[in-house]
Structure formats: structure tokens, C-alpha cells
Amino acid sequence: MNESRRGFVKKAALAGAVSTLGIATLQASSSASKGTNGVIVGHSKKKEVTYKKTQAWEDYYKSAR
């Protein structure tokens, strides 16, 4: 009986420590990105292509209607 209680206390303490560490990490990351409004700005020279008109996309759009 005491062993199961001790195991529970150990697990609860470990879970509390992990959650505290997670909260601290979230606060640190949110304070670091306050000036950028959550947007990560990169330094890549490549243009981002989000859509390229192809026959496969045309077929998809026709069938989705």
C-alpha cells in the first residue's frame, strides 16, 4: 500500500516538474516573438511558391466542385 502511494507521489512530482518546464519554455518563446506578432521572418533568397498551375490541380478542382 505504501509503495503504490510513494509511486504516485513520485509520478505526480515528475509531472509537475515537466509541466512547469513546459510553461517556462512557452513563456520564453512567446516573449521572444512579441515584436514579430508570431511571424517567423527568414533570410531566404528563394521565392515561396504555394501554388503551381498544373493539369493535376485542374483535374482536382474540377472533381471537387
pLDDT number for residue 12: 82
- Interior/surface letters 13-52, b for 16+ CB within 10 angstroms, e for the rest: eeeeeeeeeeeeeeeeeeeeeeeeeeeeeeeeeeeeeeee
pLDDT number for residue 49: 82
pLDDT number for residue 32: 52
- 7-59 pLDDT per residue, tens: 888 888 888 776 665 665 655 555 555 566 777 777 888 888 888 899 999 99
Between 65 and 29, the higher pLDDT residue: 65
